[in-house]
Amino acid sequence: MVDAAQDQSAGGQLAQAAPEETYRFEATHTAIAIQIIDRAFTDSADRFDAMMRLGDRNNFADLGGPDTLYTELSRALAYHLVLFARGEDPGCTLEAEGYGVLQVPAITDVPDPVLELWRAVAAGVTPRAAVALFSDLLWSRRGPGAGAHGARAASAYLDLGGGTDELASTRYLVRAWTIAREMHRDDLDEQIRERMAKIVTEVLNVTPGQRPGVTLPLLGALARGPLRKKRMSVATDPVPVDELLERAANSCVRGPEATEIARYRRPRATDTTGIAAIDREEIAAYRRDADAAGHPAQQMLLLRDTARVAADRGHHDLARGAAAAMQQIAPDDLDLQTFTSSTTLPAFVVDGYLSGFTSGHEWSDGMNEFLTSECPTGNIVDLRRLAIDNQGLLSRHLPSTLLRGGLPRATTTTPEEIEKHEMSRYATPRAEAIGRLLAEGLDRIVRRYGTPEQDELVRYLMSRGGRDQGLVTTLAKAYRHFWNGDYESCIHLATPKFEAAARALLIEFDEGIYQVEATNSPGGFPGLYALLNLLEKEALDESWAYFFGWLLGGPWGANLRNDVAHGLPAPMNPAYAALVLRAVTCLGVVAGPVTSSHLPVTARRAREEILATLVDPTPSAGHVGNLLGRLASDAERLAWWLRAIRLRWIRHT
């Protein structure tokens, strides 16, 4: 005997996980089901409207029938038509769509009793939408008599294809066309194509360039040609497909739609001249889209898209024209808004971080503190976690475009790019905060001990592991430029030496990085990105590798190396000068590269020794940097929230 407590517990479990009652088909269900579906589709061909009516049992109280019957009919109405996405072959499928607790299986997984119900309903219902749906379900299952069900579904969809709901009519016609092609029914294919051509012609006559949700799927189907095309030339095709495609291309006002139309046209072109003309008409649509933009910022992005497409198609004259138009848009006309947020560091945090710069007996003690400071962008694991945890709907679904000098530099188009952009949003305020503290620390050294002479700096840096006196001498000059307040000279002098140090370090442990000359390609060493990737692959700490790439590379970072090398605007302030000195000193001195492989064997270090310095370039500085990282992350999160609020306000106004 089960006691009361056990009975209550078991009852609770049954109430939460009661299995759904299995449907069993009975002949008496046929008449009831047909009446239910006929009523559900009264005055509407929309299967969602029918499902809503079916959900209210009061509408069918006089008909009776078990609850499982209503459940299975509701499931049948949950299958919906899905057009293939742009960029794919044209077509339309019937797919399952669940609603709340209503679980809808794939058509191939439906049990036999439900199939019997579908057959009974398909044979007796009268609304064309119901005939189309249930016949299509049986065609998609490919059971006995599937051919007859497919033909009936295609004919019903064709009848529905002239309704007032243009988007629904488009789905019906493309689904009818898909079934006819699957069945190899020439007669149905001809009727459907004629109806499609009629609708496209009406749209092009009345609203050219508009209603792409109607025209594009229909044009994609028409462009495939008639089923009997092997026995029919293009000239005898009763549908003037090429004329319709050309009209659609010339009236198109949006670039992505022009790309889709061009994709339909290219396989039908007979020579390279025709393809080139299609390309130029596609690019012209992008340019029309840009020229009609209502705001300079929107025009800038649309011109960028124009230049991209033109370059991809090999029409570099049009790409240059779009780029020239981009350059004519003044940065001030973009109406960019600056959002800022700030946080206050407690005095004891700042003093605790900087105390080591002046607590020793000599200036070299302060430099030791500088050389053992933490990675400015923080731990790579923390950055990745922040990037993932704090992605909002806007950042996931709206691409972010970075500008430099008012011109687009990079746009987030892939999950990897979104992650890099999000990481940079948290790395940037943290690194800039650390940079300001490092700059203050360097200034305190000279205020406390005086400015070290160049030769003194060279000796000190060599004592810390430097092995290339020429590199160390340049680095010493960069430090003195910093202390003289000439941050531009400091950055310009030190930045190239990072790449030299990375190159020499790889040479020291016999990494074959020199690229031998080839036809029309002179020999030389790879660039910064390749060098950093090789160092990280060998042993370089991932957090430091990220900092180096963020500071010197791009586009998801400060990009100092490229901006300095190409004379582009770059931040020439104490914080970034200190960060550059920190990066170059870490790799150029602490890691201890050499610039020549011709040193005596006794002067070379073992490969394991070099790799060990890359694994841990500098010891951790403790908990102060973690606090700075959290504060910087909070500040960036607040700024992002402000940007999101403004964007939402703009969209509503």
Q: In this structure, which amino acid lies at residue 418?
A: I
Q: What are the tokens at 89?
A: 């072959």
Where is pLDDT greater, at 633 or 615? 615
Choose among 31, 27, 20, 124: nearest CA to 72.
Answer: 20
According to the 3-state scheme, what is the secondary structure of 351-420?
A: HHHHHHHCCCCCHHHHHHHHHCCCCCCCCHHHHHHHHHHCCCHHHHHCCCEEEECCEEEEECCCHHHHHH
> Is it the case that residue 624 has pLDDT exceeding 60?
no
User: Helix, strand, or coil here: 94?
Assistant: strand
| Cα–Cα dist 239/192, whole Å | 11
Maximum CA extent, the chain: 103
Q: In this structure, which amino acid lies at residue 196?
A: M
Which whole number is the average pLDDT over 543-554? 88
Q: List the alpha helices (DSSP H) in 560-623.
A: 560-565, 574-585, 607-615
Choose among 198, 211, 225: nearest CA to 167.
Answer: 211
According to the 3-state scheme, what is the secondary structure of 225-240?
A: CCHHHHHCCHHHCCCC
User: Helix, strand, or coil here: 290?
Assistant: helix
pLDDT digits (tens, 9 = 90+) for 333-360: 888 877 777 777 788 878 888 888 999 8
What is the pLDDT, as a whole number, of residue 155? 96
Mean pLDDT of the chain: 83
pLDDT digits (tens, 9 = 90+) for 81-121: 999 988 888 999 999 886 666 788 999 999 999 999 999 99
pLDDT digits (tens, 9 = 90+) for 200-221: 999 999 999 899 999 999 999 9
What is the pLDDT, as a whole number, of residue 533? 81
Choose among 120, 124, 162: nearest CA to 138.
Answer: 120
> Is it the case that residue 15 has pLDDT exceeding 60?
no
**Residue 651 CB coordination number (10 Å):** 7
> Is it the case that residue 514 has pLDDT exceeding 70?
no
What is the pLDDT, as a whole number, of residue 348? 80
pLDDT digits (tens, 9 = 90+) for 225-263: 998 765 555 557 889 999 999 999 999 889 999 999 999
Q: What are the tokens at 558?
A: 């400060």
What is the pLDDT, as a whole number, of residue 516? 56
What is the pLDDT, as a whole number, of residue 486? 96
pLDDT digits (tens, 9 = 90+) for 563-620: 887 777 788 999 999 999 999 998 877 555 444 444 444 456 677 777 777 777 775 4
* Residue 376 preceded by cis peptide, ω within 30: no
